[in-house]
Amino acid sequence: MENDDATSPLDRRLFLAAGASTLIGASTGALAQQPASPAPKPNVDAGEGGKPTQLVAEFVAGFDLKQAPALAVERARTAFIDTMGVMLAGSRSEPAALVGEMVRAEGAKPAVGVVGQAYQTSPQLAALANGVAAHALDFDFTYAQGQLLAPVIPALLPLAESLRASPVETLAAFIAGFEVASRLSRANPDHNGGGSWHGTGTIGTIAAAAACARLTKLPAAALPDVIGIAVSLASGVNANYGTMTKPLHAGQAARNAVMAAHLGGHGFTANRSALEGRGGFARTFARGLAWKPEAFGDLGRSFDLAERGIRPKRYPCGGVIHTGIDAALDLREQLGPRVADITGIKAGIAKYAASRASEQYPTNTEAAKFNLQYVVAYSLVHGVPKLASFDEPAIKDERVKSLAGLIAVAIDPEFADAHEDYPTRLTITLKDGRTLEKLVVHASGTKQYPMTGAQMEEKFFDCATQAVSRDTAGKILATLKTLGEQNSFDEFWPLLRRG
């Protein structure tokens, strides 16, 4: 936000009372219309079952993998497969390389490995590097409000190696972290959109800390401190979408999670009601937004991982624009060689997706991954976007650039306020005046149109072989398909190293 001091000084009380979603990007005139009284305090209790922090602590400390339904375990394995594949591919990205240089310069004790790398470092720094790699390509699975779980597995891997934790304990820790992330998202459903937060760095930090606490087998009495530390370390705003800082949110969240679990487990104190207490998660991140603490009431009694599932991404870019890709691919199949006859394209999208549209053609990978016009044009010209579709040569393709310039974007009144599914309606006009239209409401990879097992394996090998041989990738996949059935990770860790 620009500095308004010179033209319209703000009353400090007004500034503090206004919600973050109001302040970010607001005009001075709009700010002046905000009420000076503080926003109403949200109801923070979770009902008869207790307060959110207490419920999370009791669930995480008491959770056993045997309590989870078989479908939750199956989906947790899918999450590991998806995350490991994109992390290996992401380890070859520029953001991962830059963070890796910094990590090596730190000179930490070489205790654990980093996925896709030859060097070793401390668990915290390994979590940082893993998290950046896992999110660098924006190809990792989504859940509810984006990639909330992106930091969890990157944090668990180095911690599991340092603790010599078993695969079954690591799997259980992930499920515990997932359920915490889901309840935080359900309790604050406008976190990413209305709040302008990036849930990967905010909710993800707390969820990953809970997962690390479970893996460390901390008692319930220590969990409120872990959660309290994580709430203070949580950060990330969606202003940094389309830049290297977006994956840095995942890396920092993973690192902070390991730190929170370690400190909280060794007597480091924090506010023991940091989710619902004064100045805590609810009154900070949910200020002015919906806060539904009853979401925590079914922790341990139902499993969102089984009942709601995850959404693996078919395309390596921002998930909000995947319906645009699906629509473009369908139209491309209808058009065949007549793609060259396109004279105009209208894209009708939801309000939230509007931030993914830009009149400026992307000049780098990060920008291209969050540009609706680019992905639609690329899909019309070349077909299904792959990893190489966001490399510099692909972005410089004049056919794609020319077609992207023909795309006019507008909010479609039929689904303007869409929240979880972001439909796209593409209308193409040809030289002869004819038009073709395609509306896609649910993208590939969603519950309505799930990826097949074959598509998941194809994605895994496409990603993993960016860093390891196909033979090694096959061994990694075989382990993850049966994760929890092995006695140890001893034979697994060397597979993740780059020789």
Bridge partners, 435 (sequence order):
429
pLDDT tens-digit series, residues 483-494: 999 999 999 999
Share of the chain above pLDDT 70, in %: 90
**Residue 429 phi, psi dihedral angles, 5° rounding:** -110, 135
Q: Is the pLDDT of residue 454 over 80?
A: yes
Tokens of 166: 């078993």
pLDDT tens-digit series, residues 316-354: 988 889 999 999 999 999 999 999 999 999 999 998 888
Residue 45's pLDDT is: 63
Residue 193's pLDDT is: 73
Report the SS3 class of residue 233. helix
Report the SS3 class of residue 307. helix
Residue 17's pLDDT is: 33
CATH of 319-440, one of 3.30.1330.120, 3.40.50.300, 3.40.50.2000, 3.20.20.10: 3.30.1330.120
Burial of 105 (0-12, 13-18, 19+ CB in 10 A): exposed
Report the SS3 class of residue 212. helix
Using CA of residue 474, residue 475, residue 480, residue 481, what is the dihedral sign? positive
Residue 416's pLDDT is: 87
What is the distance between the alpha carbons of residues 376 and 393, in angstroms, rounded to a whole number? 17
Residue 36's pLDDT is: 37
What is the distance between the alpha carbons of residues 20 and 65, in angstroms, rounded to a whole number? 38
pLDDT tens-digit series, residues 358-375: 778 999 888 898 899 999
Place of tokens 């005009």: 27
Alpha carbon distance, N-terminus to C-terminus of the chain = 46
In the chain, domain spans:
1-39, 52-307, 319-440
Burial of 197 (0-12, 13-18, 19+ CB in 10 A): buried
Measuring CA to CA, how many Å separate 282 from each of 29, 285, 296, 402, 484?
A: 28, 6, 13, 46, 35
Residue 242's pLDDT is: 80
What is the distance between the alpha carbons of residues 249 and 238, in angstroms, rounded to a whole number? 10
Q: Is the pLDDT of residue 9 over 80?
A: no
Specify whether domain 52-307 bears CATH 2.40.170.20. Answer: no
Confidence category of residue 378, pLDDT binned at 50, 70, 90: very high
31 against 134, higher pLDDT = 134
pLDDT tens-digit series, residues 13-58: 222 233 333 322 333 333 233 333 343 444 556 544 569 999 999 9
What is the distance between the alpha carbons of residues 475 and 457, in angstroms, rounded to a whole number? 13
**Residue 349 phi, psi dihedral angles, 5° rounding:** -135, 175
Q: Is the pLDDT of residue 5 over 90?
A: no
pLDDT averaged over every residue in the chain: 89
Mean pLDDT within 98-104: 98
Q: What is the dihedral of CA 358, 194, 443, 205, to 10 degrees?
A: 110
Who contacts 481 (Cβ-Cβ below 8 Å, separation ≥6)? 77, 81
Strands 407-411 vs 342-349: parallel, antiparallel or unpaired: parallel
CA max distance for the chain:
74
- The pTM score is 0.82
